Amino acid sequence: MKARADDRCIFADRIQPNGIAIQESKGLEGLLGPDPAAAAGVVESPFSDGDLFPETRRQLTLTTRSKESPLAAVEPCLRELIKLFEHGKTFGSLICVPPELAAQLPAARQSIEAMVAKGELWEHRAAELLLPLVRQAETLTANYDAVVANPPYMGVKAMSLELKTFTGQNYPDSKSDLFAMFIERGFDLLKQMGSNAMVTMQGWMFLSPFEEMRTNLLSTHTINTFTTIRV
């Protein structure tokens, strides 16, 4: 909004904001059928009423077993994406896409689009369920000129076991509070010389649980401005 106030055409010709709502992948395992890497047997993963895609109530299956199928080569990538975003609504943009998986995203997108074009999906709706996972993974692996956020606040004592486990494994230096994790994540999303602007609590500047975070931040980044707001 600030940018458009300065230049009304900024979104029309060169700048596009990136805004997504991270989607969950619970229940989508069945789209690819039984996992050949899993033990022999029938894999059942019906859609539940709590899934992100409530309108999809029955099992959909893509044809991936044929070597000629556009999805055959990228099926492992799609399975990894489904695992990665299983708790997408809980972890949100704190989810980091591994580099080896990120490298496969263009091929995964092309394969899904190719299957739609050739009419080889049992239902085109299945592609609409898989493509958002690819798109949000691409968004989370890109690098940006600026990251601007007012991140949520939640101390470790208030976190669910699921969230506490995830943050402990992925953000050991800032796991004491969600806002600190988003500070770290913001830097991960930046281009070289990019800017990370966060409205946060001040505790990370002096409290002992954030000592490692402060040390790493000051050794790898430059702080341009601090602004204190009294309310």
Query: In this predicted model, what pLDDT tens digit does every residue of 25-69 receive, in sequence order?
Result: 988 877 776 666 554 444 444 444 454 444 444 444 554 545 556
Q: Please tell me the distance from the alpha carbon of residue 85 to that of residue 26, in angstroms, as a whole number.
A: 8
Please tell me the predicted confidence (pLDDT) of residue 121: 54
Please tell me the predicted confidence (pLDDT) of residue 39: 46
Q: Please tell me the distance from the alpha carbon of residue 29 to that of residue 176, in angstroms, as a whole number.
A: 33
| 23 and 123 fall within a common domain | yes
Please tell me the predicted confidence (pLDDT) of residue 69: 60
Whether the CB-CB separation of 47 and 53 falls below 8 Å is answered with: yes
Query: Where among 141, 176, 207 does a domain terminate?
Result: 141
Whether the CB-CB separation of 117 and 141 falls below 8 Å is answered with: no
Query: Where among 121, 141, 161 does a domain terminate?
Result: 141
DSSP 175: T
| 86 and 158 fall within a common domain | no
| 20 and 53 fall within a common domain | yes
Structural domain of 203 = 144-220
Nearest CA to 18 among 93, 124, 111, 103? 93
Please tell me the predicted confidence (pLDDT) of residue 85: 96
Query: Where among 141, 156, 188 does a domain terminate?
Result: 141
| 135 and 157 fall within a common domain | no
Whether the CB-CB separation of 82 and 29 falls below 8 Å is answered with: yes
Q: Which residues in the chain show pLDDT less than 50?
A: 39-49, 51-60, 63, 65
| 129 and 171 fall within a common domain | no
Three-class secondary structure of residue 113 per DSSP:
helix
| 137 and 148 fall within a common domain | no
Please tell me the predicted confidence (pLDDT) of residue 131: 87
Whether the CB-CB separation of 213 and 222 falls below 8 Å is answered with: no
| Domains of the chain: total | 2
Please tell me the predicted confidence (pLDDT) of residue 125: 66
Amino acid at 179: F
Please tell me the predicted confidence (pLDDT) of residue 1: 76
Q: What are phi and psi of 20, to 5 degrees?
A: -140, 155
Please tell me the predicted confidence (pLDDT) of residue 172: 95
Predicted model pTM: 0.76
| 131 and 26 fall within a common domain | yes
| 184 and 127 fall within a common domain | no
| 107 and 48 fall within a common domain | yes
Three-class secondary structure of residue 155 per DSSP:
strand
| 121 and 179 fall within a common domain | no
